[in-house]
Amino acid sequence: MASVLVNVPAASWEDLRAARPDPTATPFLKWAGGKGQVLTSLKPFFPSMHPGTTYFEPFLGGGAVFFALRPRRAVLADKNRALTLTFQAVKDDLELLLAELRTMPGPQDDGEYYDRRREFNRLILRKGRPSRSIRVKIASLFVWLNHTCYNGLYRVNRGGEFNVPKGSYRRPSIYSEQNLRRASKTLRWADARIECADYAKVLAKAQ
């Protein structure tokens, strides 16, 4: 699945922030099919990013291409609701997310893993727009499960419940505070609009 770069009418650039995106920001999630390991081969095919260009990513996943290009404007989308809520929390609620993650070390036993998986499913399957606190809780559980489940996979059953079993890790690394801060800074620099939507709906907005 390819990322897309298109030109759209530029908004005012007078509000350019002094803070620059951190060039060392990398994906904070494991993701099947992620482009991180093949970026060197892909980069020659990306057009240059100039002011007035909006980067459209209809298949966000771990966001490897976005973090590599560090565009000034971006629309980041995926049909995975938990994924987009997590990116939104990293962008807008980083301190709350970090506070939550600090209380969640690696699982001590299988029971803890499956308890957190049940809690995640209960929250993510709620109808309607989640409150800020619920969004942060979903995001913290998503990051935790992503780094403790089998191979970092994301799979759901017919009822939409995340059902990946626990992975075999002695001491899983759940998150890097430093990298989450870099990722948040890059998302805010891009004024990233994060959407849970089908790729066709997202790309219909591109010109």
DSSP string, 159-200: TS-B-PPBP--SS-----HHHHHHHHHHHHHTT-EEEE--HH
Residue 9 in this model has a pLDDT that exceeds 90: no
Query: Are 175 and 57 within 8 A, CB to CB?
Result: no
Dihedral class, residue 41 (left if φ above 0, else alpha if ψ from -120 to 50, else beta): alpha
Q: Which domain holds residue 19?
A: 4-203
Measure the CA–CA gap between 89 and 91, rounded to whole angstroms: 5
Per the structure, the count of domains in the chain is 1
Q: By percentage, how much of the chain surpasses pLDDT 90?
A: 73
The pTM of this model reads 0.88
Alpha helices for 70-109 (secondary structure H): 81-92, 94-101
pLDDT value at residue 48:
81
Output the CA–CA distances (angstroms, integers) from residue 20 to 14, 42, 188, 191, in the order listed: 15, 24, 10, 12
Measure the CA–CA gap between 83 and 124, rounded to whole angstroms: 10
Confidence of residue 53 (pLDDT cuts 50, 70, 90): confident
Averaged confidence pLDDT in the chain: 89
Query: Are 189 and 70 within 8 A, CB to CB?
Result: yes
Host H or E run for residue 144: helix 132-148
Residue 63's CATH number: 1.10.1020.10
Tokens, residue 140: 């913290």
